[in-house]
């Protein structure tokens, strides 16, 4: 029997799966990777086919060696200690090490003589790598891959973005873009922020564009507790989170993007759109360069249009979302929503101009039909 609560969860999970669906570029990249793996895989298998009984012995040896390596990698990966600055340290042998704070989540996915893969799930890691041309050292953060070219570098994985800063040497970064994976080389002193997942359209024209998450800030988790608004907000208990915030006259919200976004989520989800808009404006005023700013502007636009009945201001907010990241994954939706906002404001010529701009930028855009209908039938 159908249960609305379960149905709602299933629909959200399906939506997320659709959002992660592979693009043709992703299929192409994966095919190339498979070919490469097959090339290295095939000779081994041919040799195995001719080896007969001797192979069984060799396989046992290989298994033993593999087991030993696995054990070694497991134990190496757990060689963790602290340093004077309070950072955790993970030694990967041969003078290669990772230092990270308590909030970082790191996993050594692979460690062999030819390849080391470290997955940075979240937080910041500082990598000091002894360069070895026979070995690939890769840090994977979402869909961003950083390969060392002999160096020391930081990788910060936040929801939606990955920041790479090079201290010494250089790194090669591959990151997802609309046209497929792109590569960049960063040298000492360089830094860059990359999307951690492929830029992708949102679910449909009747929905607000999906937004980047509210990332936890480094000091958030230390204060998580039953009376802590942040813990409540992250657990989805927005009403109670907002009550705590409001009781303290919002003084408990730190002036930094993560906290402002989390608090605005709590306010928005607990039906306090005006307060949420205020928090988003504060973020946009103080942190316009933050990678989360475009999403904040978009959310603000949505609040102004849908909840606060201020379509003109909404159009301005959507325009700002687009201006902050004209090639970001919200840009297309921002133009479309600004058309909708102008239409609601009764500004037909502006709405029509917006549709024209949308058509030029996205001739096969998924909102085009809806926008044309909107302007054609005001």
Of the pair 120, 166, the CB lying nearest another protein is at 120
**Interacting residue with another protein among 211, 297, 303, 324 (CB under 8 A):** 211
Long-range contacts at 331-334 (CB < 8 A, ≥ 24 apart): 331/361, 332/201, 332/358, 332/361, 332/362, 332/365, 332/367, 333/201, 333/202, 333/209, 333/298, 333/367, 334/209, 334/294, 334/297, 334/298, 334/301
What part of residues 5-34 is at the interface with another protein (CB under 8 A)?
Answer: 5-6, 8-10, 12-17, 19-22, 26-27, 30-31, 33-34
Number of residues that bind another protein (CB under 8 A): 58
At its nearest, how many Å lie between another protein and the CB of residue 52?
Answer: 19
**Interacting residue with another protein among 265, 275, 290, 322 (CB under 8 A):** 265
**Distances, alpha carbon 61 to alpha carbons 41, 56, 65, in Å:** 19, 9, 6
Q: Residue 153's Cα: distance from chain center in Å?
A: 19
Instruction: Report residue 280 as tokens.
Output: 């988003």
Residues pairing with 175 in the sheet: 182
The answer to the question of residue 89 lying near another protein (CB under 8 A) is: no
At its nearest, how many Å lie between another protein and the CB of residue 303?
Answer: 12
**Interacting residue with another protein among 96, 111, 140, 338 (CB under 8 A):** 140
Of the pair 31, 68, the CB lying nearest another protein is at 31
Dist. CA 356–CA 343, nearest whole Å: 14
**Per-residue contact string for residues 221-240; x = within reach of another protein by CB under 8 A:** --------------xxx-xx
Instruction: Report residue 195 as tokens.
Output: 């999307």
Q: Are 224 and 217 a contacting pair, CB within 8 Å? A: no
Residues forming contacts to another protein in the complex (CB under 8 A) are 3, 5-6, 8-10, 12-17, 19-22, 26-27, 30-31, 33-34, 37-38, 41, 45, 74, 105, 109, 119, 121-122, 140, 142-143, 159-160, 195-197, 200, 202, 208, 210-214, 235-237, 239-240, 243, 265, 268-269, 329
């Amino acid at each position: 029997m159908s249960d609305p609560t379960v149905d709602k969860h299933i629909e959200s999970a399906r939506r997320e799966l659709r959002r992660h669906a592979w693009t043709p570029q992703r299929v192409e990249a994966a095919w190339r990777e498979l070919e490469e793996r097959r090339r290295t895989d095939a000779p081994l298998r041919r040799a195995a086919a001719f080896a007969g009984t001797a192979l069984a012995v060799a396989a046992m040896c290989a298994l033993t060696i593999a087991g030993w390596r696995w054990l070694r990698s497991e134990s190496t990966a757990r060689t963790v200690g602290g340093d004077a600055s309070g950072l955790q340290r993970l030694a990967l042998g041969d003078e290669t090490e990772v230092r990270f704070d308590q909030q970082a989540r790191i996993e050594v996915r692979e460690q062999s003589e030819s390849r080391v893969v470290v997955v940075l799930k979240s937080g910041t890691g500082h990598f000091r790598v002894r360069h070895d041309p026979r070995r690939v050292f890769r840090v994977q953060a979402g869909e961003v891959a950083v390969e060392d070219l002999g160096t020391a570098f930081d990788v910060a994985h936040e929801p939606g973005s990955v920041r790479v800063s090079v201290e010494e040497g250089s790194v090669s970064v591959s990151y997802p873009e609309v046209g497929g994976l792109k590569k960049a080389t960063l040298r000492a002193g360089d830094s860059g922020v990359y999307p951690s997942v492929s830029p992708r359209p949102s679910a449909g024209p009747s929905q607000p564009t999906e937004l980047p998450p509210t990332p936890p800030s480094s000091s958030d988790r230390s204060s998580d507790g039953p009376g802590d608004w942040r813990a409540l907000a992250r657990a989805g208990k927005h009403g109670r989170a907002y009550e705590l915030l409001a009781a303290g006259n919002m003084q408990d919200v730190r002036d930094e993007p993560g906290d402002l976004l989390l608090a605005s989520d709590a306010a928005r989800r607990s039906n306090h759109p005006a307060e949420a808009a205020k928090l988003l404006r504060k973020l946009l005023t103080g942190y316009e360069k933050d990678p989360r700013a475009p999403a904040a502007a978009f959310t603000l636009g949505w609040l102004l249009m849908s909840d606060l009945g201020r379509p003109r201001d909404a159009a301005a907010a959507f325009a700002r979302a687009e201006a902050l990241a004209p090639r970001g994954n919200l840009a297309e939706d921002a133009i479309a929503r600004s058309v909708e906002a102008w239409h609601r404001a009764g500004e037909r010529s502006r709405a029509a101009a917006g549709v024209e701009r949308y058509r030029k930028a996205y001739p096969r855009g998924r909102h085009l039909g809806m926008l044309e209908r909107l302007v054609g039938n005001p």
